[in-house]
Amino acid sequence: MQNRSPSKRLEPQSMDYRSVLEEIHAAVLPVVGRGRVADYIPELSRVPPDRFGMAVVTVRGEVYTVGDALTTFSIQSISKLFSLVMALQAEGDAVWDRVGREPSGTPFNSLVQLEHESGKPRNPFINAGALVITDILCTRFAVPENALAEFMQKLSGNQAVHYDRRVARSERTHADRNAAMAHFMKSFGNLRNSVELVLDAYCRHCAIEMNCVDLARAVSFLANHGRIPSSGEMVLGASLSKRLNAVMLTCGTYDAAGDFAFRVGLPAKSGVGGGIVAVMPNECGICVWSPSLDESGNSHAGTLALELLTTLTGRSIF
């Protein structure tokens, strides 16, 4: 494969994303399926490992796709990004009193740091942090998982977005480690609602199903200074959007965030369903999906695809 020189990169308005995506698709096909599908949630273990889809949605409304970009999948931890957005809308910077903004350096479901740091999770994208964010939504909304699904419907423009009850039930049945985190944080006063309520809502919002186009469109407000490109509606202020992109860059891909930033150079959030969303500021939202994961829980082919995207276009935040 021949790399385009960044010195000859195209301007955003003339970027040929269609050919770029086709080149990426051809390059990653040999590694699609490498790794392993998440099997600690039995319902996810049934997903075929040899799938690949990718979508780019520009702030001008252009949509480019390749592969299985219209196939729905379980967004899992990608939902943590949008639950955080709702918590920031509700409480602003007060959110950071209960959850940090630092990379964890440990697996997403680790309990190790909670005791040393008095029940305050390192960041909102590890499971412990996402449980605190879900607790905030449980206080603010009667049915937080439905409120999040409706929020995702608005951002994606797809009114069919909702959670898969079978996946939610499968995840809830195998939530012992998350339950341990929740009880531990509650002992420190960092969980206000019942553990059962928080776990139910958390497992349901992780089980939301979307496709690559839905998610690329849903995240595009973060490429547009906090405004939904199609309507101009403000989701977050420009300052909060900037800070959220920073947390995505440093914490959004589990304990591989440093390597991901080194290789890809874009703010991103991954999920063990095999999806990764990414933001190219002022230009587009991106989503790639391939279910087989690397050791950190990130899509193996998806990470490579995003690295190729920034290489071929010569564009990243650096």
Exactly one of 17, 64, 163, 202 is catalytic; name it: 202
Q: How far apart are CA 190 and CA 99, in angstroms?
A: 9
Helix and strand totals (H; E) in the chain: 12, 8
Query: Which amino acid is residue 246, in one-letter code?
Result: A
Exactly one of 272, 277, 279, 288 is catalytic; name it: 272
Exactly one of 32, 66, 77, 219 is catalytic; name it: 77
Q: In what order do the strands lie in the sheet with 268-270?
A: 63-67, 53-58, 284-289, 275-280, 268-270
Q: Rounded to the nearest 5°, which phi and psi values hold at 276?
A: -140, 125
Query: Are the beta carbons of 95 and 87 closer than 8 angstroms?
Result: yes
Q: How far apart are CA 153 and CA 1, in angstroms?
A: 38
Question: Is 45 among the catalytic positions?
Answer: no
Q: How far apart are CA 284 and CA 56, in angstroms?
A: 7
Structure tokens belonging to residue 121: 């999770």
User: CB count, 10 Å around CB of 27?
Assistant: 15
Exactly one of 59, 80, 219, 299 is catalytic; name it: 80
Query: Are the beta carbons of 184 and 119 closer than 8 angstroms?
Result: yes
Question: Is 77 among the catalytic positions?
Answer: yes
Query: Are the beta carbons of 221 and 240 closer than 8 angstroms?
Result: no
Query: Are the beta carbons of 80 and 254 closer than 8 angstroms?
Result: no
Question: Is 59 among the catalytic positions?
Answer: no
4 burial via Cβ count (<10 Å: 0-12, 13-18, 19+): middle
Task: Give 294's Cβ-side CA count (13 Å radius).
Answer: 18
Question: Is 272 among the catalytic positions?
Answer: yes
Are β-strands 284-289 and 275-280 bridged in parallel, bridged antiparallel, or unpaired?
antiparallel
Query: Are the beta carbons of 86 and 151 closer than 8 angstroms?
Result: yes
Exactly one of 17, 64, 163, 254 is catalytic; name it: 254
Q: How far apart are CA 291 and CA 61, in angstroms?
A: 27
Active site residues: 77, 80, 202, 254, 272
